[in-house]
Amino acid sequence: MLRLIKCSIIFFMSLTMIMGCGSIIGESEATSDMDKLFEDSDEEISNEIMDKIIYGINNDDLDVIKNIFSENAVSNSANIDNDIQRLCDFIDGTVISYEESDPPSSFEELDNNYEIKLIKSYYYIETDSEKYFVLIENYSKNTKQTEKQGVKCVIAVKADDRLKVFDRSEKILFDESGRIERYGIFIPDIYE
């Protein structure tokens, strides 16, 4: 009997070591739920920004769009007001819907003294006459440099040109030397 108890203890210890404690007590499910909570949060934040952009475009309310940008983006943009007007002119017709083209991705940096979170969102916007692709880079949190908190850039192209955004030869988001820093709103010159 003692031998059976020892074997049972060794078996359960081995099983626990192989599977990990979390699998036995349901931690993997809790972790999955926690990941989903953060994913939903990124999606909600991104959708709120997109709602403001759509509202601004449909109502020709440039201030609503301007207010989503960080102080840093506004100051580093050549002319944010002209860029917002250009976006409103570029999007032809009334926006009737939008949808994610891909789920948002995020990068987080935490320290005892600060928190930084960058969310990149990818959307299709559909108007009554055209479909567009929009990329948004948003610092939803930046307690290290608060002037950078808010939207850094919005890149808009026609939906058929979506892949050009990531093509180094097009020089929209990348070029031969790497990533291009964009601030404010960027619509490539291919539409002029």
Euclidean distance between CA atoms 105 and 137, whole angstroms:
10
Residue 165 lies in a domain: yes
Task: Give me the chain's average pLDDT, please.
Answer: 87
Residue 103 lies in a domain: yes
Contacts of 91 (CB under 8 A, 6+ apart): 57, 125, 127, 130, 132, 156
Residue 71 lies in a domain: yes
Most confident region among 6-10, 13-17, 30-34, 173-177 by mean pLDDT: 173-177
Residue 186 belongs to domain spanning: 27-191
Element housing 28 (H / E): helix 27-58
118 bridge partner residues: 107, 139
What is the separation of C-alpha 48 from the centre of its chain, rounded to a whole number of angstroms?
Answer: 12
Residue 124 lies in a domain: yes
Per-residue model confidence (pLDDT) at position 48: 96
The total of structural domains in the chain comes to 1
175 bridge partner residues: 178
Encode pLDDT of 68-121 as tens digits: 999 999 999 999 999 999 999 999 999 999 999 999 999 999 888 899 999 999
Per-residue model confidence (pLDDT) at position 191: 79
**Which residue has tokens 């409103």?**
88
Per-residue model confidence (pLDDT) at position 190: 84
Euclidean distance between CA atoms 36 and 177, whole angstroms:
36
Euclidean distance between CA atoms 78 and 185, whole angstroms:
10
Sign of the CA dihedral with 88 first, then 91, 95, and 100 last: negative
DSSP 3-state percent helix, strand, coil across the chain (nearest 5):
50, 30, 20
Of the candidates 52, 55, 63, the residue with the CA atom closest to the CA atom of residue 85:
63
Which CATH number goes with the domain that contains 144?
A: 3.10.450.50
Q: Which of 19-33, 60-74, 83-97 has the lowest mean pLDDT?
A: 19-33
99 bridge partner residues: 124
User: Which of helix, strand or coil describes residue 149?
Assistant: coil
Residue 2 lies in a domain: no
Residue 7 lies in a domain: no
